[in-house]
Amino acid sequence: MSPPLLRATPPRTTAVRAIGVLEGARTRPARGAVRIAATGAGAVAARRNTAQVASFSSAASRPRGEAADIIYPSCSAVGEGHIRNSDSAGFLGPGSPSRRLPKQTVLANPFGLSWRKHLKSSLEKQNTALLSRSLSTASPKMYTTSFAFFEALWDAGVTHCFVNLGSDHPSIIEAMVKGAREKKDRFPRIITCPNEMVAMSMADGYARLTGKPQCVIVHVDVGTQGLGAAVHNSGTGRAPVLLFAGLSPFTQEGEMRGSRTEFIHWVQDVPDQKQIVAQYCRYVAELKTGHNVKQMVNRALQFAKSDPQGPVYLCGAREVMEMDIEPYEIRQDKWKPVQLGGLPSSAAEEIAEALANAKEPLVITGYAGRNHAVPPALVELANTVKGLRVLDTGGSDMCFPADHPGWIGVRYGNEDSIRNADVILVLDCDVPWIPTQCKPRQDAKVFHIDVDPLKQIMPLFYIEAESRYRADVLTSVEQLTARIKSDESLKAKLAGEESEKRWKALESSHKERLERIAAAAQPLENGEFGTGHLCAKLRELCPEDTIWAVEAVTNTGFVHDNIQAKIPGSWINCGGGGLGWSGGGALGIKLASDHEAQLKGGKGKFVVQIVGDGTYLFSVPGSVYWISKRYNIPVLTIILNNKGWNAPRKSLLLVHPDGLGSKATNEEINISFDPVPDYAGIAKAAAGGDVFAARVDKAGELEGVLKKAIEAVQGGQTAVLDCKVALGC
């Protein structure tokens, strides 16, 4: 076993803490040493002080020749702890002389007293002075790390905090109350979230619509784990979210305000809490002092907002968050995120030429529409390169409008246009094709432009491409269009007869595509209906500028085909693989839409969540509909009830098309939800009865029920419709 690792950061009064630790080492049965690691400018002093103490300790308690090597010993116990500067513990803020530690807490001369005597006197004095403070009620004037943290959020444009609180948050709670009282309209709005995944999905939905990261506050390691698949979703789906979690207190004798006061503080003290989420985050860090909390918040937000955007995680122990500091401000306008540029001009020239000379040019995308200026820019490119088509293989954002003849819609990496294209431009996309199902032809020229062309967190990713660029898609697309429009020979080529013919062909294939979709969306002869029909009706009945939050799994293609989104930002899909996003996601989107509209004196848009029945259960509806009711966030939820999980059967058939499972029932392969839960009833119960809840299984009743549900939502009441859908249409 390796020794306990003690970190000193920075070390002004480290020796006192080291004594406490060393006493622990002395009393361990094997008399093993502890190891102390100190960093930064404080390291030397920490080592000097602790080494003095160590040699004192070893002289007092060990046989000769067995002195403890404090820094790198052969030790007998493991663990990880922290030595921190008492300055970071809430008492030595520069502006708080009255809160200074008593002088004797600094170990002036440890050799002048016997070990035990010294310890006793030092710790007793310290404890008498501090224990009462550690439990004392804060003065109303106090300005803590936590309060500065919220100020930093607000100043950086974070208007909402989705919180799930715990014993790590006393100073957070104090700060929230103080903020609500003293900084009305200049303090983030707090939304209580009974489940962390819902909290983070709300922040995620908010960010996907607006590009503005919000904050999620959770409880130590357990709350961090409760974020669950939402961390994956925002990491994969490029949604900026700032996560904050407390850490268990690192003192237990009342040495500082925030010191341990509850049983659970021992149990929740884990070696490295950040690591729970680190691989999904753009940045993780521990707040070690309140003095730079605003810079740390802004550094985290800089990562979250720089491409590829994503989640960031800060944590801070109770003592650090309790620390009194001098109020301060930073120059907010100096903290903008990193900006990406466009293509090198030689690349713009090469790609523009390839597109203009192509017979079957194709754009494949996934996230490009996150920037709402991209769809019109792509339309402009497609109007310039006549015959260019756009395929969406992610379905994460509305990237190209359904009423343009170049629209192909969403297909997950398997589409004829991929097989036929001679020039393919991949734009902000994770999975342009799935090689075991579909590949570009051998002679196709592929160019890849992405904010993350290497897919830095994917161990396996590659596509064969002429070239790849880390560049901003909007700038790049505008460059390409401008290049083609300004080059006489390319212009002449695209104004030719062949190009005109291609445009006509595109128009008629688009018309046929829409007719095929409409024909497939008819109700079945037995009166039942599929997802396609349901979504065609939704498109007909919902407001034109509705925002669709979609998590429809195997029905995504039918939903996309029939919703036919045209407005940038009007289609939002999770982009990740952690089911359950859309419950919180839809609420976050609605909240964002309302909030942003109110700022301009307008009204938020109508928001519809379309979700698989299995996914609905993943979304923690007990929390979602309580929040919806509590904060008056009305959405329409459409549950695609196909009696369970269809996806695992599809996955099975791709690998074992003739296997045992291929002929087995849904019950046998364990994907059936029978008996069928009362999905809408779950929502109604969570909202204390105040939800429009209904079930539809016949096409004849669909329109009537949809109209009532839409009306309810427009009147401010959330509606949940459990719709029985037939498979495969």
Interface residue with ligand TPP, options 126, 365, 475, 554 (CB under 6 A): 554
The helix/strand count (H/E) of the chain reads as: 25, 21
What does the alpha-carbon distance between residue 289 and residue 323 come to, in Å, rounded to a whole number? 8
616: closest CA among 530, 681, 687, 525? Answer: 681
By CB under 5 A, tell whether 614 contacts Mg ion: yes
In the complex with ligand TPP, which residue's Cβ is closer, 543 or 577? 577
Interface residue with ligand TPP, options 145, 393, 555, 582 (CB under 6 A): 555
By CB under 6 A, tell whether 574 contacts ligand TPP: no
Stretch that binds Mg ion, among 65-73, 144-152, 480-488, 604-612 (CB under 5 A): 604-612
By CB under 5 A, tell whether 556 contacts Mg ion: no
In the complex with Mg ion, which residue's Cβ is closer, 258 or 395? 395
Stretch that binds ligand TPP, among 33-41, 98-106, 156-164, 548-556 (CB under 6 A): 548-556
Q: Which does 140 bind (CB under 5 to 8 A by kind): Mg ion, ligand TPP, none?
A: none
What does the alpha-carbon distance between residue 12 and residue 110 come to, in Å, rounded to a whole number? 15
Give the H or E element holding residue 81.
strand 80-84
By CB under 6 A, tell whether 77 contacts ligand TPP: no
By CB under 6 A, tell whether 645 contacts ligand TPP: yes
Interface residue with ligand TPP, options 229, 230, 356, 713 (CB under 6 A): 229
655 Cβ contact partners less than 8 Å away, ≥ 6 residues apart? none
Q: Which does 577 bind (CB under 5 to 8 A by kind): ligand TPP, Mg ion, none?
A: ligand TPP
3-state helix, strand, coil in the chain (%, to 5): 45, 15, 40
What does the alpha-carbon distance between residue 260 and residue 248 come to, in Å, rounded to a whole number? 8
The string of DSSP letters for 478-504 reads HHHHHHHHH-HHHHHHHTSHHHHHHHH
Find the binding residues for ligand TPP in span 599-618 (CB under 6 A). Answer: 612-615, 618
By CB under 5 A, tell whether 613 contacts Mg ion: yes
What does the alpha-carbon distance between residue 605 and residue 539 come to, in Å, rounded to a whole number? 15
Closest chain position to ligand TPP (CB): 612
What does the alpha-carbon distance between residue 434 and residue 15 come to, in Å, rounded to a whole number? 60
Identify whether the C-beta of residue 241 lies closer than 8 Å to the C-beta of residue 200. Answer: yes
Q: Which does 581 bind (CB under 5 to 8 A by kind): ligand TPP, Mg ion, none?
A: none
By CB under 6 A, tell whether 88 contacts ligand TPP: no
Min separation Cβ 613 and Mg ion, Å: 4
In the complex with Mg ion, which residue's Cβ is closer, 307 or 613? 613
What does the alpha-carbon distance between residue 180 and residue 169 come to, in Å, rounded to a whole number? 16
By CB under 5 A, tell whether 122 contacts Mg ion: no
In the complex with ligand TPP, which residue's Cβ is closer, 14 or 642? 642
Find the binding residues for Mg ion in span 617-646 (CB under 5 A). Answer: 642
Q: Which does 579 bind (CB under 5 to 8 A by kind): Mg ion, ligand TPP, none?
A: ligand TPP
Q: What is the dihedral of CA 200, 206, 211, 213, to 10 degrees?
A: -40
In the complex with ligand TPP, which residue's Cβ is closer, 390 or 640? 640
By CB under 6 A, tell whether 547 contacts ligand TPP: no
Helix, coil or strand: residue 710:
helix
Interface residue with Mg ion, options 90, 612, 621, 634 (CB under 5 A): 612
In the complex with Mg ion, which residue's Cβ is closer, 33 or 608? 608
- Helix runs in 665-718, H state only: 679-686, 699-714
**Both tokens assigned to 440:** 């570009």
Stretch that binds ligand TPP, among 126-134, 210-218, 572-580, 716-724 (CB under 6 A): 572-580
What does the alpha-carbon distance between residue 549 and residue 396 come to, in Å, rounded to a whole number? 10
Identify whether the C-beta of residue 398 lies closer than 8 Å to the C-beta of residue 571. Answer: yes
Min separation Cβ 554 and ligand TPP, Å: 3
Min separation Cβ 708 and Mg ion, Å: 24
Min separation Cβ 577 and ligand TPP, Å: 5
The string of DSSP letters for 393-411 reads SS-SB--S-TTSTTEEEE-
**Both tokens assigned to 474:** 């909007």
What does the alpha-carbon distance between residue 631 and residue 627 come to, in Å, rounded to a whole number? 6
Which residue type does 211 have?
G
Binding positions for Mg ion, rule: CB under 5 A: 612-614, 642
Binding positions for ligand TPP, rule: CB under 6 A: 229, 553-555, 577-579, 612-615, 618, 642, 645-647
